[in-house]
Amino acid sequence: MKKWFLSGLCIVGAVQMGAAQSLEKMQWFNEPEQWEIDEGTLSMFVTPQSDYWRISHYGFTVDDAPFYYATYGGEFEVKVKVSGDYRERFDQAGLMLRINHENYIKTGIEYVDGKFNISTVVTHHTSDWSVITLDKPVPYIWIKAVRRLDAVEIFYSFDDKEYVMMRNAWLQDNIPVQVGLMGASPDGKGFKATFEHFKVKHLPDKRRLEWLSRNAAE
């Protein structure tokens, strides 16, 4: 076991080996006041009155919620198990893929008017929002995103076995992307969010595979 002291907080975690990402090597954008890594799990107290949104419908832009990320090029699959002590309208936690402040996708659980929703916001200069309302509260959810060429397919699951596609969104290809864990509490006083089994898997470039297939030696 090793201990890290970051932002005045003691973080206890095991050195991770194998396929899982090492959370300790990632970095913050809008670091929250309280967070920790323990045995490969990230917990944070989401910053009150923070969010990611640009212009549309509401007329304002905010870019101030916690985001813990690493940068990846090319094509990949990312997934995580998310849970949270959601309290107020629009409390949310999940994944984010971000090129810059005008181009990003965030997706996960969002608590709206007492109901749990699977939510995705896609932003290219302006933001849009799509939701799937769940018929009952869930203790956690798995979120997966697959980046292929210029598209990101987004899925959710309750068991990490059967995944349901919820969105296919454009995202510029052939450019590095910040990939990681996001929480926001636009209207609330913050809440605890937990992220487990975060994993990013490299996928071979699809165009290169097609080129190899066309030019394979006979």
pTM beyond 0.85: yes
Question: Number of structural domains, the chain?
Answer: 1
Residue 174 counted as domain residue: yes
Residue 142 counted as domain residue: yes
Residue 103 counted as domain residue: yes
- The answer to whether the beta carbons of residues 89 and 187 sit under 8 Å apart is yes
Q: Which domain holds residue 88?
A: 2-13+25-204
Residue 126 counted as domain residue: yes
pLDDT tens column, 8-44 = 444 444 333 334 578 999 999 999 999 999 999 999 9
pLDDT tens column, 170-191 = 999 999 999 999 999 999 999 9
**CATH code for position 88:** 2.60.120.200
Residue 19 counted as domain residue: no
Predicted confidence (pLDDT) at residue 6 exceeds the cutoff of 70: no
Nearest CA to 150 out of 132, 176, 180, 171 is that of 171
Q: Which residue has the higher pLDDT, 167 or 3?
A: 167
Residue 162 counted as domain residue: yes
pLDDT tens column, 114-143 = 999 999 999 999 999 999 999 999 999 999
